[in-house]
């Protein structure tokens, strides 16, 4: 858990959430994808000096969880406790996720407030009793419209299938409570119009607009055929629909109805990160619920695309056995965090493959980044005994690096911090790394050293050559100082290693405290910093696996 910037007390936190995940099974690559993205985003904002609140958690009610627990012969609560403690929380720790809170929908701090919220809506006349019959997908925990169902084949011949899960839907007929969602269509459209950035990316916004324009149905918000859920406060025979329960986590976790000060300092969320499969819940139902209760609406719902395997959405059943830990064992945690955001445009679908990961690891991480760091460390140790020299002979070649850094920093800040274009922001930093490599290749410090070091080639080292050598190594080390700052949100451990090997901490303080806005301020790393060779940042991959 990360501390928030205490200097920012009193202002509203930049509040980011992930979906709360179903705990019917252990987390897979798809879940980790959204959670890592949120972590990078929040770390970026922390390094902007903002107060930040990053929330994740688990969605524990509903039929899906209940059936899974039954199949394993345990109670739903036992099942959830086990999965949360043994699978979900440990993975987030392993992936260095710095969430500020972890909400579970079975916690009393959540269930009490959910009841109050729904009771409020009931008292306001937003909820009524009615009947509904329709096809229901337990995987989605959602009624489907007949038009969107697929025709089953093979073992499912003659059955109608959920378009997402490709499993048969069930016909459900229930006497339920309904939320008057249909009345919110025009208000929502007005809201989207006034807030064009509310749903992103553009494709997601278009999907939501056309869905709402078709007209909304009222929403069944209770269930009476099973009891694993939060009781409807005025009717003991019903539990609250799992999606209403789940969406409210974003409010209950930050003190809604319980801690006014915390709520005021956090609410509303600035960014809800969601997969595109759950876009409508967040961009239609959720704002309508908040409107109905008079609460301020979130700033943005950003829908990420799907990680695909073999052309299908990655899910429990088609994971081809790859677990996040399999990849981190092979590539390391930081490379894992980096890869999915670097290789796939956030907001679009993307495929994962061992080959692509291996290729990018080797070319961008090991060759471009890792080699640069180790060359600079090794040469500073060799030629200057690890005492970082000053740069007395800076000229046009150095100015290219200074300008390149300013550009990379501004690009990365806008793309990652504002636009959630992680791939573009990371690419800007890696383009800069390439520039620094090119600079070294062109300046050939190893050749300059021959003229600079007494007795190496000439009898006496030339002062001009010494000044050049010092300038080249200072420039490269200072560039790496900034790279460590800019990559810290993405690769916290590796950047820390680099920070340590540059001897930056004694003069500049802890890496996590470095501000993005100061990253491009040239000359922050002082001459005299103790540079060491440091460990190899990206070791050669063992046992190159390909699938």
Catalytically active residues are 28, 31, 137, 140, 162, 165, 313, 316
Run of H or E residues at 242: helix 242-247
Q: Which position among 31, 45, 51, 205 is part of the footprint of ligand MSP (CB under 6 A)?
A: 31
- Stretch of residues binding ligand MSP (CB under 6 A), selected from 143-151, 205-213, 270-278, 476-484: 270-278
Query: Does residue 30 touch ligand MSP according to CB under 6 A?
Result: yes
DSSP bridge pairs for 303: 274
If the CB atoms of residues 346 and 522 are measured against ligand MSP, the closer one turns out to be 346
Angle at alpha carbon of residue 510, lines to 493 and 379, rounded to 5°? 70
Q: How many CA atoms lie within 13 A of 359 on its CB side?
A: 8
Query: Does residue 502 touch ligand MSP according to CB under 6 A?
Result: no
The contact mask relative to ligand MSP for 43-72 (x = CB under 6 A, - = no) is: ----------------x-------------
If the CB atoms of residues 21 and 102 are measured against ligand MSP, the closer one turns out to be 21
Q: What is the nearest approach in angstroms of ligand MSP to the Cβ of residue 34?
A: 4
Query: Does residue 307 touch ligand MSP according to CB under 6 A?
Result: yes
Q: Which position among 13, 162, 181, 274 is part of the footprint of ligand MSP (CB under 6 A)?
A: 274
Tokens describing residue 510:
């802890």
As a three-state string, the secondary structure of 396-462 is HHHHHHHHHHHHHHHHHHHHHHHHCCHHHHHHHHHHHHHHHHHHHHHHCHHHHHHHHCCCCCCCCCC
Using CB under 6 A, count the residues that bind ligand MSP: 21
Q: What is the nearest approach in angstroms of ligand MSP to the Cβ of residue 309?
A: 8
Query: Does residue 280 touch ligand MSP according to CB under 6 A?
Result: no
- Stretch of residues binding ligand MSP (CB under 6 A), selected from 40-48, 301-309, 488-496, 521-529: 301-309
Asked whether the beta carbons of 230 and 111 are under 8 A apart, the reply is: yes
If the CB atoms of residues 19 and 201 are measured against ligand MSP, the closer one turns out to be 19
As a three-state string, the secondary structure of 243-289 is HHHHHCHHHHCCCCCCCHHHHHHHCCCCEEEEEHHHHHHHHHHHHHH
The contact mask relative to ligand MSP for 395-434 (x = CB under 6 A, - = no) is: ----------------------------------------
Query: Does residue 220 touch ligand MSP according to CB under 6 A?
Result: no
Q: Which position among 212, 247, 453, 487 is part of the footprint of ligand MSP (CB under 6 A)?
A: 247
Alpha-carbon gap, residue 6 to 17, rounded angstroms:
21
Alpha-carbon gap, residue 195 to 184, rounded angstroms:
16
- DSSP code, position 146: G
Q: What is the nearest approach in angstroms of ligand MSP to the Cβ of residue 64?
A: 9
Run of H or E residues at 179: strand 170-179
Q: Which position among 21, 79, 339, 430 is part of the footprint of ligand MSP (CB under 6 A)?
A: 21
Q: Is 286 exposed, middle or buried (0-12, 13-18, 19+ CB in 10 A)?
A: buried
- Stretch of residues binding ligand MSP (CB under 6 A), selected from 31-39, 263-271, 376-384, 528-536: 31-39
Asked whether the beta carbons of 324 and 27 are under 8 A apart, the reply is: yes
If the CB atoms of residues 273 and 525 are measured against ligand MSP, the closer one turns out to be 273
Q: Which residue has the tokens 């080249």?
A: 472
Q: Which position among 19, 389, 404, 461 is part of the footprint of ligand MSP (CB under 6 A)?
A: 19
- Stretch of residues binding ligand MSP (CB under 6 A), selected from 15-23, 127-135, 258-266, 466-474: 15-23
End-to-end CA distance of the chain: 36
Query: Does residue 34 touch ligand MSP according to CB under 6 A?
Result: yes
- DSSP code, position 102: E
Among candidate residues 541, 501, 542, 545, the one with its CA nearest the CA of residue 525: 501
Alpha-carbon gap, residue 228 to 241, rounded angstroms:
10
Supply φ then ψ for residue 83, to 5 degrees: -65, -40
Query: Does residue 314 touch ligand MSP according to CB under 6 A?
Result: yes
Asked whether the beta carbons of 251 and 243 are under 8 A apart, the reply is: no
Inter-axis angle of helices 29-47 and 324-331, nearest 10: 60
Q: Which position among 101, 120, 227, 277 is part of the footprint of ligand MSP (CB under 6 A)?
A: 277
If the CB atoms of residues 314 and 484 are measured against ligand MSP, the closer one turns out to be 314
Query: Does residue 482 touch ligand MSP according to CB under 6 A?
Result: no
Alpha-carbon gap, residue 519 to 508, rounded angstroms:
11
Tokens describing residue 94:
């392993």
Query: Does residue 222 touch ligand MSP according to CB under 6 A?
Result: no
Query: Does residue 339 touch ligand MSP according to CB under 6 A?
Result: no
DSSP bridge pairs for 412: none
The contact mask relative to ligand MSP for 131-170 (x = CB under 6 A, - = no) is: ----------------------------------------
- Stretch of residues binding ligand MSP (CB under 6 A), selected from 145-153, 269-277, 375-383, 486-494: 269-277
Q: Which residue has the tokens 């459209």?
A: 189
Supply φ then ψ for residue 75, to 5 degrees: -75, 155
Q: What is the nearest approach in angstroms of ligand MSP to the Cβ of residue 277?
A: 5
Query: Does residue 20 touch ligand MSP according to CB under 6 A?
Result: yes
Q: Is omega for the bond preceding 7 within 30 degrees of 0, making it cis?
A: no
If the CB atoms of residues 138 and 502 are measured against ligand MSP, the closer one turns out to be 138
If the CB atoms of residues 68 and 249 are measured against ligand MSP, the closer one turns out to be 249
Query: Does residue 269 touch ligand MSP according to CB under 6 A?
Result: no
Query: H helices of 453-487, where?
Result: 463-487
Asked whether the beta carbons of 468 and 452 are under 8 A apart, the reply is: yes
Alpha-carbon gap, residue 523 to 394, rounded angstroms:
12
Q: Which position among 80, 246, 436, 482 is part of the footprint of ligand MSP (CB under 6 A)?
A: 246
What is the contact surface with ligand MSP in residues (CB under 6 A)? 19-22, 30-31, 33-34, 59, 246-247, 249, 274-275, 277-278, 304, 306-307, 313-314
């Amino acid at each position: 858990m990360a501390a928030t910037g205490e200097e920012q007390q009193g202002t509203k936190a930049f509040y980011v959430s992930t979906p709360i995940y179903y705990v019917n099974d252990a987390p897979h690559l798809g879940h980790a994808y959204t959670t890592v993205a949120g972590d990078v985003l929040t770390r970026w904002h922390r390094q902007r000096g903002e107060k930040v609140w990053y929330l994740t958690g688990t969605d524990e009610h509903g039929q899906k969880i209940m059936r899974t627990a039954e199949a394993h012969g345990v109670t739903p609560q036992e099942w959830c406790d086990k999965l949360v403690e043994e699978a979900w929380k440990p993975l987030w720790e392993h992936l260095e996720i710095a969430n500020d809170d972890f909400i579970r929908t079975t916690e009393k701090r959540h269930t009490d407030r959910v009841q109050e919220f729904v009771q409020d809506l009931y008292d306001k006349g937003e909820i009524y009793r009615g009947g509904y019959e329709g096809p229901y997908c337990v995987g989605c925990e959602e009624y489907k419209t007949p038009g969107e169902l697929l025709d089953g084949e093979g073992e499912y011949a003659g059955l109608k299938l959920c378009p997402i899960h490709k499993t048969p839907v069930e016909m459900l007929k229930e006497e339920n409570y309904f939320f008057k969602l249909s009345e919110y269509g025009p208000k929502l459209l007005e809201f989207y119009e006034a807030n064009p950035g509310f749903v992103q990316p553009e494709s997601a916004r278009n999907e939501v607009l056309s869905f709402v324009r078709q007209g909304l149905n009222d929403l069944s918000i209770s269930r009476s055929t099973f009891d694993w859920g939060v009781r409807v406060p005025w009717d003991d025979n019903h539990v609250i629909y799992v999606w209403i329960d789940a969406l409210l986590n974003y409010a209950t976790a930050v003190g809604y109805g319980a801690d006014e000060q915390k709520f005021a300092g956090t609410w509303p969320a600035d960014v809800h990160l969601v997969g595109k499969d759950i876009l409508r819940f967040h961009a239609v139902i959720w704002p309508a619920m908040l409107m109905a209760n008079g609460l301020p609406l979130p700033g943005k719902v950003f829908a990420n695309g799907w990680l695909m395997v073999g052309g299908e959405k990655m899910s429990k059943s088609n994971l081809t056995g790859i677990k996040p830990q399999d990849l981190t064992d092979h590539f390391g945690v930081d490379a894992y965090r980096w890869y999915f955001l670097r290789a796939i445009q956030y907001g679009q679908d993307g495929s994962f493959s061992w080959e692509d990961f291996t290729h990018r690891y080797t070319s961008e991480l090991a060759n471009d980044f890792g080699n640069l760091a180790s060359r600079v460390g090794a040469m500073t140790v060799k030629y200057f005994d690890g005492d970082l020299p000053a740069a007395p002979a800076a000229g046009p070649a150095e100015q290219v690096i200074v300008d390149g850094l300013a550009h990379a920093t501004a690009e990365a800040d806008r793309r990652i911090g504002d636009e959630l274009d992680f791939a573009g922001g990371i690419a800007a930093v890696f383009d800069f790394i390439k520039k620094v490599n090119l600079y070294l290749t062109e300046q050939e410090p190893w050749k300059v050293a021959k003229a600079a070091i007494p007795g190496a080639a000439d009898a006496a080292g030339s002062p001009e050559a010494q000044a050049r050598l010092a300038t080249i190594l200072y420039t490269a080390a200072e560039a790496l100082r900034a790279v460590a700052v800019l990559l810290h949100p993405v690769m916290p451990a590796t950047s820390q290693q680099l920070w340590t090997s540059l001897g930056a901490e004694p003069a500049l303080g802890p890496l996590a405290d470095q501000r993005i806005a100061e990253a491009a301020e040239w000359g922050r790393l002082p001459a005299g910093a103790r540079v060491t060779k440091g460990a190899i940042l990206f070791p050669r991959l063992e046992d190159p696996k390909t699938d």
